Amino acid sequence: MDGLADQIDAAVAAINSATGGVTAKVGVILGSGLGALAERIDDAVALPYADLPHFPRSTAAGHAGRLMVGALRGTDRQVVALQGRFHLYEGWSAQQAAFPVWVMKRIGVETLVVSNAAGGLNPSYAVGDVMLIDDHINFMFQNPLTGVNDESLGPRFPDMSAPYDRGLLELAESVARRDRFFCPRGVYVGMLGPTYETRAEYRMARRLGGDAAGMSTVPEVIAAQHCGLKTLGLSTITNACSPDQLGETTHEEVVKAAASAGEKLRAIVEAVVVSTG
């Protein structure tokens, strides 16, 4: 982590210069097919990642690759949204994938909502369901905190007993009850990718307690815990991963299925933003 604080400062300076200063308390990472939520940010300042110092480039399909700052419609409160993220399978390190989280913390964000598209391991899940991440398993076997720790960013050994905030989970559940949609808690299994899993790998992940599997989120949540952000994780179930009835999965199908959960995600994110006061 040598030099990381200086890189964060450079990115923050560029963001503040372009926006005139950020007052947002909530940051949102929009995953595959979920970038449409950015259309609900009014008077947005959109900054391409290419214009931000030390930001990687988002190459995944369905990821616009820009940071947006503005008021979330229906709340009149400012948010910071990442329209696209960075995956280890693209060749980035876990620290690079998590870099925007430390940047959001430095510009004043206190609560992080991270979303993703995931394959459903739990047989009770259907395509289009939203799973609240209650915990995760790191099968990426990489960690953004590897190396010399910078105590100004966070502790050497962050506790990971509850990286997903209980109060935010309960808030999301109350939204699901109000709007009458299925929104279970479950365990997210972070896989390296870029290949989708084999039948044996899906079977293993399920037997070890996984409810959904994807290729992101874990490095970002570790960084969020490291720097003290309250975090809510949302997985849109984009395909059923029954190992005994496994069909071919394409990224295009995943993006299309992820978009189908947009209204559910919007309702939860709006509730989180309003709750920050």
Is 11 annotated in a binding site? The answer is no
Catalytic residue positions, numbered: 32, 63, 87, 89-90, 117, 215-216, 239, 251
Is 166 annotated in a binding site? The answer is no
- At a CB cut-off of 8 Å and minimum separation 6, what does 166 contact? none
The predicted pLDDT at position 63 comes to 54
In the block, residue with structure tokens 């960013």:
153
For residue 155, count other CB atoms closer than 10 A to its CB: 13
Task: Give the predicted TM-score (pTM) of the model.
Answer: 0.93
Is 197 annotated in a binding site? The answer is yes
DSSP designation for 212: E
pLDDT band (50, 70, 90) for residue 231: very high
Residue 241 has pLDDT above 80, yes or no: no
112-154: pLDDT as tens digits = 999 999 999 999 999 889 999 999 999 999 999 999 999 999 9
CATH homologous superfamily of 4-275 = Nucleoside phosphorylase domain (3.40.50.1580)
d(CA 246, CA 87): 24
Reduced to 3 states, what is the DSSP secondary structure of residue 59? coil
Residue 249 has pLDDT above 70, yes or no: no
Cα dihedral sign, 220-222-224-230: positive
249 class by beta-carbon count within 10 Å (0-12 exposed, 13-18 middle, 19+ buried): middle
- At a CB cut-off of 8 Å and minimum separation 6, what does 189 contact? 121, 136, 137, 139, 205, 208, 210, 212, 213, 214
Residue 253 has pLDDT above 90, yes or no: no
- pLDDT more than 70, % of the chain: 89
52-84: pLDDT as tens digits = 999 998 766 555 789 999 998 878 899 999 998
d(CA 19, CA 15): 6
Is 239 annotated in a binding site? The answer is yes
* Alpha-carbon distance values, 262 to 44, 64, 134, 188, 247 (Å): 19, 16, 20, 20, 25
The predicted pLDDT at position 38 comes to 81
Mean per-residue pLDDT, 94-119: 96
Domain parsing of the chain, residue ranges: 4-275
